[in-house]
Structure 1
Amino acid sequence: MSLDELIPILNLAVGPVILISGVGLILLSMTNRFGRVIDRSRQLAPLLKSTTGDERQIIVEQLRILWSRAWIVRAGIAMGVLSVLLTAVIVISLFAGALFKLPIVYAIIACFALCLTSIVGCLICFLVDVNLSLHALWHQIPEEARK
């Protein structure tokens, strides 16, 4: 393979690499959110033993919401990581296809479609988590302040 053949492949690989960078920032945000969910759960769980009545019910509801958030954020992180892996497969396929003269166009299209689908799923999980965190906040704000 000559340099003249390599340069167009490098140009094609730049787009997916930028995609990896963008998804990496989304993953950074989601792992921070996941850490906050875990930390808040660890703060609230011991309080269940020492509280009763309405206060206990509020803590139980908060922990249920946090549990849901943890599952959703974890699913979003998994989808984000899957999209990064698929993008890496695309870049490797570009080089392997050019080097070995393989007909990989349909494989690249399939990987790219799955990659974008994973990103959409990741972003949907992100939005669901934001809505659940607002729902949890709703339980903490006194009723007279919610109106």
Structure 2
Amino acid sequence: MQLPAQDSILPLIQLSITPVILVSGLGALVISMTARMGRIVDRTRHLAGAACQASDAERAHIEHQLRIMFRRAKLMRLAMTLVVGSMFVSGLLIMLIFLSALSGFDFAAGILGVFLVSVVLMLGGLGAFVADLWVSLAALDSDVRRALGPDAATIRLF
């Protein structure tokens, strides 16, 4: 197998830039999601410890918060799985672009399909990430309303 000439490699590298940029951006997103997941885990552990020592009145609220935190952890797991899946598929896309160029076969339909799968996975991960944001605000709403007591009805949190 003969390697392509230098003047035909440049367009190939240019074609590979888009998935490389996508992987880079998704990597930054995964770092953010990992930090968020760490905070969820820490808060859940704190609440689990507090539940053991809480009075019956406080225990109901803590259990409610624990259910919310577990839901958030599952959403973040889904978000991270989808985003990392998008990164993986983007890596496959880069390989497919190079294989197409080196082999001389036209993989245009496959390349487009793999790119679309990568974007769909990314969008799903972003959707799960936004869902976690909404659930976290619901938990905050519960804490604020509990702290404000009867005055909570006079404010609109959302």
CA distance in 2 between partners of 1:118 and 1:65 (Å)? 25
Which residue of the partner structure matches residue 67 of structure 1?
70
2:100 — aligned with what? Answer: 97
Letter in structure 2 aligned against 1:93: L
The separation in 1 between residues aligned to 2:142 and 2:57, in whole angstroms, is 11
TM (norm. structure 2) is: 0.89
Alpha-carbon offset, residue 103 of structure 1: 2.2
Cα drift, residue 53 of structure 1? 2.3
Q: Which residue of 1 aligns with 2:142?
A: 139
The structure number with the bigger radius of gyration is 2
Q: How far is 1:145 from its partner?
A: 4.5
Counterpart residue identity of residue 108, structure 2: V
What is the CA–CA distance in structure 2 between the aligned matches of 1:38 and 1:70, rounded to whole Å? 7
Report 1 or 2 for greater relative contact order, CA contacts < 8 Å, sequence distance ≥ 6. 1
Partner Cα separation in structure 2 for residue 78 and residue 102 of structure 1: 32
Q: How does 1:1-147 map to 2 (within 5 A)?
A: 1-141=4-144, 142=147, 143=149, 144-145=151-152, 147=155
Amino acid at match of 1:64: R
Q: Aligned equivalents of 1:49 and 1:42: distance in 2?
A: 11
- Which consecutive residues of structure 1, in runs of 5 or more, have no partner in the other structure? none
Could you tell me how far apart the structure 2 residues matched to 1:135 and 1:21 are? 32
Give me the whole-angstrom Cα distance separating, in 1, the residues matched to 2:19 and 2:34. Answer: 22
Hey, what's the Cα distance between the residues in 2 that align with 1:108 and 1:72? 30
Deviations 1:95-132 (A, max 9, x none): 11110112211111111111110111011011100011
The residue identity in structure 2 corresponding to 1:19 is L
Identity %: 32
Name the count of aligned residue pairs.
Answer: 147
Quick one: distance in 1 between partners of 2:93 and 2:108? 10
Moved over 3 A (4+): none
Structure 2 spans left out of the alignment, 5+ residues: none
